[in-house]
Copies of this chain bind each other. A is one copy, B any other.
Amino acid sequence: MSIRPDQAERPATIHDIAAFCGVAASTVSRALSTPERVNVRTRARIEEAAARLNYTPNSQAKALSSGRTGAVGVLVPDITNPFYFDLIRGTQLQLKAAGYTQLLVDTEESDEVEASAMEQLRKGADGIIVAASRLSDDVLLAAAAKIPIVAVNRDVPGVPAVIIDTPSATSQALDHLISLGHTRVAYVAGPATSQSSERRWTALAAAAEARGVEAHRLGPFAPTTQSGAAAADAAVHSGVSACIAFNDLIAIGMLQRLSARGIRVPEDMSIVGCDDIFGADFCNPPLTTMASPIEQAGRVAVSMLLARLNPLAGGGRRSRSVMPTHLTVRGSTGPAPKV
């Protein structure tokens, strides 16, 4: 009975519906996207036909003619870093809820890959969320002029951002260590290109100064468990009794290395991580860490981006959102060893 006997083969188009209802394709388009522009009765017929023919709009075509792709690019430096898992989950959830598709790109910690991905996405997506961007301020700002961007953990004036406030948590961590009697503390730095790492060190150094304790800086180290081994050795050599690591991966790597070297945690050395990623609660000993609301950060980033894409639909246009963090104390920190 169908006009298109091959409907099982090829997905129905707007033209099929038009033919089926005896109206023009443009009318169908309007009925579906601008309902008030079409007579109620016609619209009902069209909607019914659409349902019967199992119509799904072709996103490619829609994107081409309307300019909107319905996709958002999410750029992360390293997909396998558990920190980004939670972020990705947050963005994915929120994007799906808003009817957007997520394009996930691993930039491999490279500014070049990141830049080329952005250029690519400029036509393939309506907006971009970029985590821990490796791009310089200038380049990032220039990119933001071409396509809506929300940065995560990257502060550049003029670029909307979600910042996880680890610097202030770093001071908390320091106070925690001080209260346990530690006086010589090391900051185990992350990648040299990481702005977060830099900001954390600045905060830590200032806090240490104010409280009159020694703060060493070690690194930079890659944010992986592997490089945690080198970090552990450096920490032992530096003679400190406690370390605040750039992130949990490094901290966990340190835990493993210290254990292998027979150095007890926390009896001989206390370790504080950052992010509270998957695994931080069940490593040995469980890691004291600065817990970040990562997934929430992802959701907020999406909200900010979408608010920018659809200015009409209310919502404050905050251009900077700071997410609070707090110290979660577990077993990897303890009283300073008595010399």
Binding site for B on A (CB under 8 A): 11, 56, 58-61, 63-64, 69, 79-80, 82, 85-86, 88-89, 92-93, 96, 101-104, 106, 119-120, 122-124, 225, 252, 255-256, 278-279, 281-285
Contact = CB atoms under 8 A, between A and B. Distances in A.
Contacts of A256: 281-282
A88 B106 CA distance: 10
A255 B279 CA distance: 13
A60 B123 contact: yes
Given A80-B86, A86-B80, A59 B284 contact: no
Nearest to A256: B282
Contacts of A284: 282-285
A237 B13 CA distance: 59
A304 B59 CA distance: 26
B60 A64 contact: yes
Contacts of A59: 123-124
21 contacts: A56-B123, A58-B123, A59-B124, A60-B64, A64-B64, A79-B85, A80-B85, A80-B89, A80-B278, A92-B104, A93-B106, A96-B106, A104-B104, A252-B282, A255-B282, A256-B282, A278-B279, A279-B279, A279-B282, A282-B284, A284-B284
Contact of A60 (B79, B86, B96, B124): B124
Contacts of A102: 103-104
B92 A79 contact: yes
Contact of A89 (B60, B106, B281): B106
A259 to B, nearest CB: 9
A336 to B, nearest CB: 24
A148 B85 CA distance: 28
Given A60-B123, A256-B282, A284-B284, 19 more contacts: A58-B64, A58-B123, A60-B64, A60-B69, A61-B64, A80-B85, A80-B86, A80-B89, A80-B278, A88-B104, A89-B106, A96-B106, A101-B103, A104-B104, A225-B282, A255-B282, A278-B278, A279-B282, A283-B283
Main secondary structure of the interface of A (DSSP, over half): helix
A96 B103 CA distance: 13
A279 B11 CA distance: 45
| 7 cross-chain pairs, A with B, having the tightest CB-CB distances, nearest first | A284-B284, A279-B279, A60-B63, A60-B64, A104-B104, A282-B283, A80-B89
B283 A122 contact: no
A64 B66 CA distance: 13
Contacts of A124: 59-60, 101
A1 to B, nearest CB: 22
A81 B211 CA distance: 42
Contacts of A93: 106
A282 to B, nearest CB: 5
A317 B96 CA distance: 35
